[in-house]
Amino acid sequence: MGQLRNFVTPLHKATKRDYIGRMVDDKVTCMLKAKEYEFDYWDGDRRFGYGGYRYMPGRWAPVAKAMIETYGLKAGSRVLDVGCGKGFLLHEMLLLEPGLEITAFDISEHGLASNTDEVKEKATLFRYRAQDAYPFGDKSFDLVISLATLHNLRIFELKTALAEIERVGKQGYVMLESYRNEQELFNVQCWALTCESFFDTAEWIWLYRHFGYTGDYEFIYFE
């Protein structure tokens, strides 16, 4: 089993959220729209998702720097991003290490189309699902990352996704939503629009071990 990391948590904590406001705002309709993972989810009204997810220079730079240093990435290192979204982290990684060989996929056409020119020019992007068998050989990548994606899968889909991340990567890092107490469980259930798997940290760690995932991990909480 890998190590618990703290790459994304500082960014997550910087955002304010109205948990009750989201829960009482016709949430089922909002969930259905969010699960299309297209314009409304990324750039529509906040009730459907991000409420306008735009590139902010340097915002993801500390995360990119930490990953490059932690996993020893250099020119020629191969990185796979499972559920890359708009690829803002990948953009910052390429600014810090232009020689990285990046492959990334996402279920969202809008997300992929919204990647920066830097990422579109230097990375291989394609539409694909995290829960399907990946079209790569064993240990094809020096690092496989997946941020805020796997909790959107059902448990039998998680088994495949984690097995594939383990199979194609020499190193791995996954970040997802979790909770440590009843208040955080209530908050995440209020806030989450696309989450299919609500597990506490002990349950997630058990699942990682049960499904054979040995890479690093991080949890974000809704405090």
Return the pLDDT at 27: 97
Name the 3-class secondary structure at 175: strand
CA distance 119 to 140: 20
Return the pLDDT at 95: 97
In sequence order, the β-bridge partners of residue 106 are: 127
- List Cβ neighbours of 124 (8 Å cut-off, separation of 6 or more): 102, 103, 104
Residue indicated by tokens 């990682």: 208
Q: What are phi and psi of 80, to 5 degrees?
A: -115, 130
Return the pLDDT at 186: 97
Return the pLDDT at 212: 96
In sequence order, the β-bridge partners of residue 102 are: 79
CA distance 172 to 80: 10
Return the pLDDT at 51: 95
CATH number listed for the domain at residues 9-220: 3.40.50.150
Task: Give this prediction's pTM.
Answer: 0.96
CA distance 122 to 1: 32
Q: Look up residue 203 and give its DSSP letter.
A: H
> Mean pLDDT, consecutive 10-residue segments, the chain of 223 residues?
96 94 96 98 97 96 98 98 98 98 98 98 98 98 98 97 98 98 97 97 97 98 97
CA distance 116 to 88: 7
Q: Look up residue 199 and give its DSSP letter.
A: -
Q: Look up residue 223 and give its DSSP letter.
A: -
Return the pLDDT at 1: 84
Residue indicated by tokens 């059902």: 154
